[in-house]
Structure formats: C-alpha cells, structure tokens
C-alpha cells in the first residue's frame, strides 16, 4: 500500500503579533513590540502550502485558535462581559493580555507528537497534544489543539488521541519540534528519535545555565509509552545544553531528519557518536540505511544557524529518491549559510535542491518553515479517513486566501490588542473557517 508524509501547516491567526513572550527564543525577544502584519503572515504561510501542493506533496491545513483567549483571562480573575475582561486586563496586566492574544498556535510542530501506525503497538496513528508548559502563552493552546486534531483525525479505527501530559515543568513537552522519525519508507516500521533538553528526575544529566530546556527526557519517555512504541523503535538523545543557551530552544532549530537522513549541526547533541551508532543499528534492523549529514561549525556557526534557521527547514523526499530542502529567505541573507547550501547541493549528495520561502512575519517570532508544519505519515487508507475539509487543494487555497483578505488586518500593534473589536473579528473569521474546513464545533465561543 502507498504511504505518504503529509504536512499539515498551521494557518496564522488574525492576532499575529510580536509580544516578546519567549525567553530563550532570540527572534521573539529581539522583535518584541514591533508592529506586525497578520494578513501578510497568513498569506506567506498559505503560499508555502500551495507551493508544496503544486510540487506534488500531500498538504493539509491546521486551523488557528480564538484569541484573545477570554476564558483563560477569566481563570486569572478578570471578570465581566468579554469586552470588560479584555479592557480590565489591558489596564491592570497588559503582559497577560498580550500573552492571551498570541497567535502562537500557528507553529504546529509544537501542536503534538505523532507516531505513524507502522510504529505503534495497536497499529493506529497516535497523537499526544503537547502541554507547552514552559511558556504561559503556549500552555493555553492544547485543549483547542486536541479538539482540532480530533476533528481532523476523527476515525477511531485509525487514529488514537492522548491528552497533553501533566502540566508541570517536569513533563515539559514541546511536541514534534523535538521528535523526528527515520524510516526506509513512510509505511514501514521506523525509528522514532526523541531529543530532550534536560532530565527532570535524574540530576546526572547536564542542563543549560541561561535559557530553559523546554523538553524533558521524562516527557519524551511518557509519549513513547502512550504511543506503544517498542524499545527497538526508539532512540533518545540529549541536546547540547550550550546550544540551548545560544538560542536553540527546540531541536528543530539545529537538526532536521527525513527518511533515512539526519541533517544536523556539529554542536547539536551530546554523545553524538553513540547516538548515531544507535540510530544506524536500530534503523538497520528495520531494513533502513541510516545516513547523516553533519554541518561543521567551521562552516556554519551556531549563531548562523539560529539567525538563518538553516535547520528549521523541511527536508522532503522527491520521487527519484533525492531530497529537497525548503529554507527561509534568511538563509540567503547569511553569506556562510548560503555558501554552505550551494556546496551541499552541488556535491552530488542526497540533497539536490534548495527552495527559498519568504516567511518573515513568522520568522520574526522564531518560527521557520519546519515550525509551521506538523508531519503525519499516513498510508492510503488512513489518508482517506482524514477529514477531507483540511486537505489542501487549489480551490481551498483560493477560498482561504479570500478568507484572509476579508477578515485579517494588515497592521497590529500592542495597543490594538486592547480593542474588544479584535475578538469579534477573530470569532467571525473562525466561525466561517470551521465551515470552510468542515471542522464542526471545535471552538468554545458562540457568536451572538
């Protein structure tokens, strides 16, 4: 049976703004308070989805969330009508209003960890929503994320959904941003590679000194247990704490994998040789030939990687077996990175082509091409069981482009977030979107 990697991209929500909310994420911190353009952000994301679809890849779309999250503000003690809740928060605790307005659910690589059916004990595709509990603005995403994923992958014969892990830092889980799957073919049993930043319960593991390590070993292990993965199908590795301290807040900022290939920076991991040997052995026993491409620090520094997002790229398999790298425009803007990419594609190796996308609106918050997509490997039967409303087609692209044009503002700054009208705009847009994507009642609000 045929199988595919389907990329579900997060649609940028109408409140996209630069809140400076993510300590440890260099772009988020350095662009804090800048004016944003939600319309442009959404259109840039849609253009990437359309381009991948046009290239023949399977592409889907994941809906944004209601923001500001008035229900979350109510839990923090702001009361009254929705408009009063927003105005009170603006007056008394602007940072909390800003956090409750973030469109951060667009970075769906953090929505969940997904294990394909070929890897799981019960032969279903498993999803665990990420608790994202390192940052308040992201920790409020998972209840809606679970409902949206449930509406997209509803058939219980094929899809199993797990609630987010306990909402404490010891089980900090950032989803697929720290998870990669290696396989010979998407439909065959593969090796799932979990990368953690620290251990919460075992003090022998080192930890970063400056910035938080968002993913714990114990969270990764819990996800592997929930999904029914076998020991032979899992490899754990620790991120180098010093790169976290240089702004590598997720592993997908310094490594990306696909098929049998891992593309990574020399400084990305601890005990790299041991990890590579384990990946090679385990994938080998599953019929695969593990290959790694190490980018030396002498050619590309960690700082280059963090600024250009070279590794936050999408590594895609083409029909002839070679690979294509989807990178953000910022890679072209960095001389060393661009030179490296030229030499990579002309070397006759596996990665033959680089395609560049302008994702500046998302990049300025630390979200590149790979952050914007959730990969779900599916066989033909499973793909047919996905809610067809969320699969990208040329007409859906046109409809969504018009929908963005109708509902999104082209400028947003902090003071706009205090305007209750923004909530109404968001609700009206999402109400229409649930019909376009045939999602049903995934949002808790009601339009009066």
Contact set with ligand SUG (CB under 6 A): 18-22, 25, 28, 102, 104, 107, 109-110, 138, 177, 249-250, 252-253, 365-367, 371
CA angle 242, 246, 249 (to 5 degrees): 90
> Shortest gap between Cβ of 190 and ligand SUG (angstroms)?
20
| Gap between the Cα atoms of 426 and 414, Å rounded | 16
Cβ distance to ligand SUG smaller for residue 186 or 249 = 249
- Nearest residue to 129 (alpha-carbon basis) of 98, 159, 96, 157: 159
CB of 18 to ligand SUG, least distance (A): 5
Shortest gap between Cβ of 102 and ligand SUG (angstroms)? 5
CB of 135 to ligand SUG, least distance (A): 6
Name the CA radius of gyration of the chain, rounded: 21
Residue closer to ligand SUG (CB basis): 60 or 366: 366
Q: Which is nearer to ligand SUG, 371 or 400 (CB)?
A: 371
Q: What is the largest CA-CA distance in the chain?
A: 64
Sequence-distant (6+) residues with CB within 8 A of 368 are 309, 312, 313, 327, 328, 330, 359, 362
Q: Cβ 448 to ligand SUG, closest distance in Å?
A: 29
Sign, CA dihedral 75-76-81-87, equals negative
Q: Which residues are catalytic?
A: 174, 250, 371
* Strand duo 59-62 + 3-10: pairing: parallel
User: Nearest Cα to 303, choosing from 253, 232, 357?
Assistant: 253
Select 28 or 117, whichever has its Cβ closest to ligand SUG: 28
Close Cβ partners of 197 (under 8 Å, ≥ 6 residues apart): 178, 207, 208, 212, 213, 214, 215, 216, 238, 239, 241, 244
Nearer to ligand SUG, 153 or 249 (CB): 249
DSSP 252: G
Closest C-alpha to 366, from 37, 23, 94, 98: 23
Pick 24 or 389: Cβ nearer ligand SUG: 24
Q: Do residues 434 and 442 make contact, with C-beta atoms less than 8 angstroms apart?
A: yes
DSSP code string of 6-27? EEEEEPPPTT-------TT-HH
Nearest distance in Å: CB 21, ligand SUG: 4
Strand bridging mode 125-129 / 159-162: parallel
């Amino acid at each position: 049976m045929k199988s595919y990697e389907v990329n579900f991209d997060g649609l940028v929500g109408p409140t996209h703004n630069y809140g400076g909310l993510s300590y440890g994420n260099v772009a988020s911190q350095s662009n804090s308070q800048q004016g944003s353009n939600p319309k442009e952000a959404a259109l840039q994301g849609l253009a990437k989805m359309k381009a991948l679809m046009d290239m023949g890849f399977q592409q889907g779309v994941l809906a944004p969330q209601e923001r500001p999250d008035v229900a979350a503000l109510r839990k923090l003690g702001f009361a009254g009508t929705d408009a009063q809740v927003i105005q009170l928060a603006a007056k008394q605790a602007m940072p909390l209003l800003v956090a409750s307005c973030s469109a951060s659910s667009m970075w769906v690589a953090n929505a969940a960890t997904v294990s394909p059916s070929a890897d799981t004990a019960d032969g279903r595709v498993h999803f665990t929503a990420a608790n994202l509990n390192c940052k308040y603005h992201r920790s409020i995403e998972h209840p809606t994320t679970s409902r949206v994923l449930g509406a997209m992958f509803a058939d219980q014969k094929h899809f199993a959904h797990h609630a987010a892990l306990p909402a404490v830092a010891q089980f900090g889980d950032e989803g697929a941003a720290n998870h990669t799957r290696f396989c010979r073919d998407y439909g065959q049993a593969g090796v799932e590679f979990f990368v953690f930043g620290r251990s919460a319960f075992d003090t022998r593991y080192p930890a970063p000194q400056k910035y938080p390590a968002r993913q714990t070993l114990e969270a990764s292990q819990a996800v592997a247990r929930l999904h029914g993965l076998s020991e032979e199908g899992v490899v754990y590795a620790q991120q180098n704490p010093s790169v976290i301290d240089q702004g590598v807040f997720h592993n997908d900022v310094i490594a990306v994998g696909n098929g049998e290939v891992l593309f990574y920076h020399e400084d990305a991991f601890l005990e790299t040789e041991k990890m590579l040997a384990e990946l090679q052995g385990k994938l080998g026993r599953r019929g695969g030939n593990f290959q790694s491409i190490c980018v030396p620090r002498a050619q590309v520094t960690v700082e280059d990687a963090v600024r250009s997002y070279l590794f936050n790229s999408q590594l895609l398999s083409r029909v002839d077996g070679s690979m294509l790298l989807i990178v953000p425009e910022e890679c072209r803007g960095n001389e060393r990175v661009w030179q490296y990419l030229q030499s990579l594609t002309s070397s006759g190796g596996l990665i033959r082509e680089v395609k560049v996308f302008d994702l500046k609106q998302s990049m300025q918050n630390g979200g590149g091409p790979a952050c914007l997509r959730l990969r779900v490997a599916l066989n033909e039967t499973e793909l047919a069981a996905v809610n067809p409303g969320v699969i990208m087609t040329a007409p859906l692209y046109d409809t969504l482009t018009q929908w963005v044009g109708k509902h999104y503002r082209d400028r947003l700054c902090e003071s706009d977030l205090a305007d209750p009208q923004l909530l109404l705009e968001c609700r009206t847009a999402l109400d229409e979107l649930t019909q376009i994507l045939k999602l049903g009642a995934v949002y808790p609000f009601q339009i009066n």
